[in-house]
Amino acid sequence: MALRIYAPASSANLSVGFDSLGTAISPIDGSLLGDVVQIEESDQPFELESVGYFVRKLPKEPQKNIVYQAYVLFSERLKLRGGEVKKLRLTLEKNMPIGSGLGSSACSIVAALVALNQFHAEPFSKMELLEMMGELEGRISGSIHYDNVAPCYLGGLQLMTQSLGNICQPLPFFDEWYWVLAYPGIEVSTAEARAILPKTYTRQDVISQARYLGSFVHACHSRQAQLAALMMKDLVAEPYREALLPNFPEVRQGCKDLGALAVGISGSGPTMFAIAPDLAHAQKLYSYLESNYLQNNEGFIHICKVDNQGARAIG
């Protein structure tokens, strides 16, 4: 029987934690914003089919599809520990736009590896699987970062600790916040958005950013929503990336004027997020972003909440 694994979109960095923070997100209307990978038995050693709205944006050569690479890596690791790889067929439903800042590659990687692991009766632990996810994400973006794959896989807000045997640990977060996510419909490559960042930062910027991140984590644990939102500031990436986004400074100010608690770039963009304290504010932000940030028909806006489940089997 076929198994279908859904892996949700994620918003990395949250402004304050470059490569260190990421949250899984899901639209409040119940729609699925993420990729699905279906796995089933086959009489061939391996088959891969890609379907879905964004399939036309995937690399033409199947070997370049990250789902194919996930299969190869999983098989190598399984053989290394004496396991046997079953004959199987994967179907990727590519629902997430590529280069969107919503962890599109992470959705495919996570859905594929979770499906493969379940199909083989879970030979790998969560952290072993997550390590493979980070390796695959690193091939795409140029360096390993877990801030999309970790929340996409495990759900909630994750802090990348990368020590003591844990790649990440969950942080208590503010489930009452509404996340308004606006994808303008243009593509920004994560690898390119990383390449434009400075190689070094001033001591003052390093000190300030450490203070913001420390205060943010403290605010999460002590349930101070206002302090957490105030600390969502970015001296590492946003000042250098904002030029890649259409009218970002003006739109950010417009969102703040409408009462957004925090506004920033989701991942490496071009999606931006605005956090609202309640649904009424979220709806105003939705209308504003619809008129002022979307660039073409590919663009979309979703009012979301944190997805605390992460990757999961669906019917």
Ligand X SMILES: Nc1ncnc2c1ncn2[C@@H]1O[C@H](COP(=O)(O)OP(=O)(O)O)[C@@H](O)[C@H]1O
Ligand Y SMILES: N[C@@H](CCOP(=O)(O)O)C(=O)O
The residues binding ligand Y (CB under 6 A) are 12-13, 18-19, 101-103, 145, 147-148, 190, 193-194, 237, 267-268
Residue identified by tokens 């590659």 is: 105
Answer yes or no: is 106 a known binding residue: yes
Answer yes or no: is 82 a known binding residue: no
Which of ligand Y, ligand X, none does 209 bind, CB closer than 5 to 8 A by kind? Answer: none
DSSP letters spanning 78-98: HHHTT--PPPEEEEEE--SPT
Looking at beta carbons only, is 65 or 91 nearer to ligand X? 65
Looking at beta carbons only, is 120 or 241 nearer to ligand Y? 241
Answer yes or no: is 123 a known binding residue: no
Answer yes or no: is 103 a known binding residue: yes
Contact indicator for 15, 234 with CB cutoff of 8 Å? yes
User: How far apart are the C-alpha atoms of 263 and 233, rounded to whole Å?
Assistant: 9
Give the number of other Cβ atoms within 10 Å of residue 38's Cβ.
18
Which of ligand Y, ligand X, none does 34 bind, CB closer than 5 to 8 A by kind? Answer: none
User: How far apart are the C-alpha atoms of 26 and 220, rounded to whole Å?
Assistant: 20
Answer yes or no: is 195 a known binding residue: no
Q: Which of 300, 235, 267, 225 is nearest to 10 (CA)?
A: 267
Task: Name the residues that contact ligand X, by CB under 6 A.
Answer: 58-59, 64-67, 98-100, 103-105, 108, 140-141, 189-190, 267
- Across 3-155, where does the E strand assignment appear? 3-8, 10-12, 21-27, 34-41, 46-51, 88-93
Looking at beta carbons only, is 24 or 289 nearer to ligand Y? 24
Looking at beta carbons only, is 39 or 136 nearer to ligand Y? 136
* Shortest distance in whole angstroms from residue 158 CB to ligand Y: 12
Q: Which residues sit in the known binding site?
A: 97-107
Q: Which residues sit in the known binding site for ATP?
A: 97-107
